[in-house]
Structure 1
């Protein structure tokens, strides 16, 4: 009988194969390839029942990554994925995960505030090329300020095969102003922004030096879908919890 972990990893390997596009893909809607963030962003593979998918994640350390809490599943159904220098797929099991205590999966229906944020720990260290991303401090970005989204998500709603390549798109922070969340959209009104698979993707400062938020939700220009509005929790107000949880995960190995 195949051990449960081996079955899970084999299933997640299939997810990785499906996530890798056969031709150049426009991960994110309206995005372009951007190697600046390849050392700080990875994929989180997800298996659940008969379905599978993926999220994006921000690297905080050799074994610690930050992603959206709604991406979490039982540990056996999670793995971190990236490609090594030779282009071969690397799949590392996730052995611990902690969601923010104020995350509510039913937040939309219950109309309550939710912090859609989680830290995960891999069973072994990532490739040495990965470095810890810097998290921004200070006040929220001003309305109109540039914000760069970098993720592995799909180019079209529901088309998972169009994802799997790290791309970036520059949006602009838009109203409403908030000390908890950031909203961003294309300043010219074109279709651009997060899509399936971009949950957990970092939203960077204008110069790309610090992560100011992560993607938790997206909407089409008109109604449900992708590429109209990108939203996620600001990281500066959560930095204390992030650092404390990172230490907890590191000390528990």
Structure 2
């Protein structure tokens, strides 16, 4: 029996008959089934209006694969995927709206042979400034989360630097890298790492970054790119994390990408990681 058939056959199994280990295994199998089966309809599985994949003239970016992973999240009967930055062998930085409880959150990547790999989550930390209803209430939200992995990532991954120092200025260039869709009407275009150039459009902020395609060709974050890093143009350092996208002409993506600046959140990031390290000793 293949993974998908096994999951379908066990979805209705009484939870009281499952041991804790069986529950964990079933969750893993369901998430793996999502990876195997979701490609044709990834766009429909995600929240409309949140940042997703790179639409427009993005390019394939295999050189950035050591720095990013896919974040999978399950909530009830629905599932979604986002992008995350590897900031240590055991910690991934992503958007807060991309994660759930540790049992419902997994990190996904393909190994050197192209085989799918799922990594269990040991803990999840949500930035205290996150507001799930920020868009509706028109308030500022620090949409960031840290995911602690149950085991280190392979040595093929390289942690990216967390940017520090001066805040970005209008006109500054960034490289965004994400697994989102290349065409928001074609869900099967997601799941492939792509990158593109965006520039800071202003206004200057100590919390958020607004970025757009300098060529005005429609490139921007879309479904699956939530949590994607906006990297320094000259080195792999995360300046901001994509959290929301806006389109025009009836589209949801391609006109504007909103991201949360990480430099002002360095204290929270470092404090959380230090606490996790201390607890592991």
Give the TM bin, normalised by the shorter chain. over 0.9
Structure (1/2) with the larger helix percentage: 2
| Structure 2 unpaired stretches of 5+ | 1-16, 41-52
Q: Residues of 2 paired with 1:162 and 1:171: CA distance?
A: 20
- Pick one of 200, 222, 241 that aligns with 1:195: 222
Tell me the residue number matched to 1:165.
192
Task: Report which of the two structures shows the higher radius of gyration computed on alpha carbons.
Answer: 2
1:35 Cα deviation from its structure 2 partner: 2.1
Q: Residues of 1 paired with 2:178 and 2:135: CA distance?
A: 24
| Structure 1 unpaired stretches of 5+ | 22-26
Do the aligned partners of residues 223 and 144 (structure 1) sit closer, same or farther apart at CA in structure 2, a change above 3 Å counting?
A: farther
| Contact kept in structure 1, 2:39 and 2:187, CA below 8 Å | no
1:20 Cα deviation from its structure 2 partner: 5.3
| Contact kept in structure 1, 2:227 and 2:242, CA below 8 Å | yes
> RMSD of aligned C-alpha atoms?
1.7
Tell me the residue number matched to 1:209.
236
Partner SS state of residue 13, structure 1: helix
Q: Residues of 1 paired with 2:250 and 2:211: CA distance?
A: 16
Tell me the residue number matched to 1:125.
152
Residue 81 of structure 1 pairs with residue 108 of structure 2: yes
- Pick one of 175, 189, 192 that aligns with 1:148: 175
Which consecutive aligned stretches of 4+ in structure 1 deviate over 4 angstroms post-superposition?
Answer: none
| Contact kept in structure 2, 1:158 and 1:196, CA below 8 Å | no
Superposed counterparts of 1:53-68, under 5 Å: 53-68=80-95
Output one character per residue of 1:52-75: Cα deviation in whole Å (capped at 9) or x when no partner: 220100101111010000112122
Tell me the residue number matched to 1:11.
30
1:157 Cα deviation from its structure 2 partner: 2.7
Tell me the residue number matched to 1:24.
none
Partner SS state of residue 86, structure 1: coil
Output one character per residue of 1:137-176: Cα deviation in whole Å (capped at 9) or x when no partner: 1112221111111011112336442211111011111022
Under a length normalisation based on structure 1, what TM-score does the superposition of the two structures give?
A: 0.92
| Contact kept in structure 1, 2:55 and 2:184, CA below 8 Å | no
Tell me the residue number matched to 1:29.
55
Superposed counterparts of 1:76-115, under 5 Å: 76-115=103-142
| Contact kept in structure 2, 1:180 and 1:233, CA below 8 Å | yes
| Contact kept in structure 2, 1:82 and 1:89, CA below 8 Å | yes
How many residues were matched structurally?
A: 248
1:19 Cα deviation from its structure 2 partner: 5.1
1:238 Cα deviation from its structure 2 partner: 0.9
Output one character per residue of 1:112-143: Cα deviation in whole Å (capped at 9) or x when no partner: 22100010111111111111110111112221
Output one character per residue of 1:75-132: Cα deviation in whole Å (capped at 9) or x when no partner: 2211000011111001011120000011111112223221000101111111111111
Output one character per residue of 1:15-41: Cα deviation in whole Å (capped at 9) or x when no partner: 2223557xxxxx511211112221110
| Contact kept in structure 2, 1:203 and 1:213, CA below 8 Å | yes
